[in-house]
Amino acid sequence: MNKKLITLFAGLCAVVTDLSAQSPIKSTSKASTAVVKTAPSKPKLVIGIVVDQMRYDYLYRYSNKYTAGGFKRLMGEGFNCRNHHYDYVPTVTAAGHAAIFTGSVPAVDGIIGNEWFDSKSGRTVYCVEDSTVKTIGSATSAGLMSPKNLLVSTITDQVKIAQNHQSKTIGIALKDRGAILPAGHTANAAYWFDSKDGFWISSSFYMNELPSWVKEFNAQKNPQKYVAKGWNTLLPIEQYTESTPDDQPFEGKLSGEQKPVFPHELAAQAGVNLLEVIRSTPYGNSLTKDFAVTAIQNEQLGKGASTDFLTVSFSSTDYVGHAFGPNSIEAEDTYIRLDRDIASLLSFLDTYLGKENVLVFLSADHGVADVPGYWQSKKLPAGTTDGLVLTNTVKDALKASFGEGDYVRADENNQIYLNHETLKTRNLSRAQVFEVVQTALLKRPEVANVIDLQNLANATVPEYQIGYIKNGYNVKRSGDFLYFLNPGWFTGRKTGTTHGSVYRYDTHIPLLWYGWKIKHGETSKRTNISDIAPTVADLLDVLEPNGTVGNVITDVVK
């Protein structure tokens, strides 16, 4: 009997062994013993990336030339808000950077443009100017900057406040405003590029002396090394099929060059500072990425007990876009190279901290219009006009109606600032003046509408545009009257292009989320630029910035 039981037991074991060999559970046994990385309760580092002048369609337009590790990785492993927009006007760099990180709009945060007319001082004010501070890192005035004109807190401020100022915040960009406004009021440092000597500099608002690692980086003369390469296409030029052929009459030229064509030699010439020209090449973005990685390493961002915050703005896309336009080979090459810079940054973060420890979001400060010359060549409606002509049209009409007088103090951001003392002396009502200005400007074919910013209830514009205007109007800093140009029209450029309007090509920009606790997916629901900061706040369990008007993007956080 014992022998029979032993034989039966052996047979059962053989059957079980055979079933185990066939079972699908077997195939997962190795995976079950592997170390599974789970997201910590808080990310070690948050990185907010802004691509200056990145219109939404660039995610797809050049995608067949992007690598697997850059934009495609952010989209393929992260969350894509496909219908993401600015909800105010004007859509310009300073206002955009402020809105992303404040969750606010110019009406509240005060950054109504890159510059605006100050009625009290009677002069134009630059968005981050500050005469009370000193340049740190060079002998120029390029460092006389701070965030003092920003009226509200940023998400970078709120993260630092929530951690009792135990964390680090650093802002980096070629442009001063692209570094300063995202970093906020409580930042440890903001660094921007001074093209006189090719140095990264800062302001005494943040420090009294550059850290040794910044001095060492500057001493390497990386900008000079990039310039020495010249700028040719990364790929064979015939592969740039998403762009118009090289050498178009409506494209601008780099300083010192005779034609807007590849290769751009970037050769030394009298009166041309090539360290300034580097801004208008993809190398400006590469230099920014190099500096950002060096900052992470030397400041040990993400290595402490608190959540650190790094803001990085890639500015060269804007300079290239302004000069050559979105249909140029130069723009395409710049985005192809930026994709590789982003891939390099993400790869570095993999080894430095690990994806599960880093929260990344990427957006843009505004979009861009197509070059009017290109549209005209395809029989599409577009054009450029002279802003001075429009201002003089207003002045001439007021003089013709009310006699000689100084009626207009300034014209900034398509806004007319009136001289209220003159109006008072002449006993003129606002309604009288507006009627004359509106009538005169609407006679011009490029002008779509004229609006009294203090009488929006009677403005004859689409309802959604009223909201944009309200959000962009700050009662103490904005002008009196706003004029819109027709879609595809703008002031001031004969070649290249610009941005700043209420139209979709200027408002529709990307928003990608990646890394810590971010699930893969996408949404086509409408989201606004002011939604980014409260969404970060919700993810991190901190209070949103004090001027926030946006909402949490629930598809991202759920």
Task: State the Cα–Cα distance between residues 384 and 111, nearest whole angstrom.
Answer: 26
Sign of CA dihedral 175, 176, 179, 182: negative
Please check whether residue 84 is in contact with residue 56, taking contact to mean a CB–CB distance below 8 angstroms.
yes
Other Cβ atoms within 10 Å of 265 Cβ, number: 14
Please check whether residue 58 is in contact with residue 500, taking contact to mean a CB–CB distance below 8 angstroms.
no
Cis before residue 263, ω within 30 degrees of 0? yes
Task: State the Cα–Cα distance between residues 242 and 372, nearest whole angstrom.
Answer: 18
Cα angle vertex 274, ends 201, 506, to 5°? 75
Contacts of 440 (CB under 8 A, 6+ apart): 393, 394, 396, 397
Task: State the Cα–Cα distance between residues 550 and 535, nearest whole angstrom.
Answer: 9
Task: State the Cα–Cα distance between residues 510 and 506, nearest whole angstrom.
Answer: 12
Task: State the Cα–Cα distance between residues 65 and 61, nearest whole angstrom.
Answer: 9
Beta strand spans in 258-397 (E)? 308-314, 358-364, 383-385
CA dihedral angle for residue 273, residue 277, residue 283, residue 286, rounded to 10 degrees: 80
Could you tell me the two tokens for 273?
């500072």
Task: State the Cα–Cα distance between residues 474 and 516, nearest whole angstrom.
Answer: 36
Contacts of 37 (CB under 8 A, 6+ apart): 354, 356
Please check whether residue 365 is in contact with residue 100, taking contact to mean a CB–CB distance below 8 angstroms.
yes
Task: State the Cα–Cα distance between residues 555 and 317, nearest whole angstrom.
Answer: 29
Catalytic residues: 93
Contacts of 135 (CB under 8 A, 6+ apart): 141, 142, 143, 144, 194, 201, 203, 204
Cα angle vertex 243, ends 241, 248, to 5°? 130
Please check whether residue 82 is in contact with residue 99, taking contact to mean a CB–CB distance below 8 angstroms.
no
**Quick one: three-class SS letters along 213-270?**
HHHHHHHCCHHHHHHHHCECCCCCHHHCCCCCCCCCCCCCCCCCCCCCCCCECCCCEC
Task: State the Cα–Cα distance between residues 313 and 365, nearest whole angstrom.
Answer: 9
Radius of gyration of the chain (CA): 27
Could you tell me the two tokens for 531?
């939604």
- Among 251, 259, 257, 282, smallest CA distance to 271 is for 257
Could you tell me the two tokens for 292?
């950002």
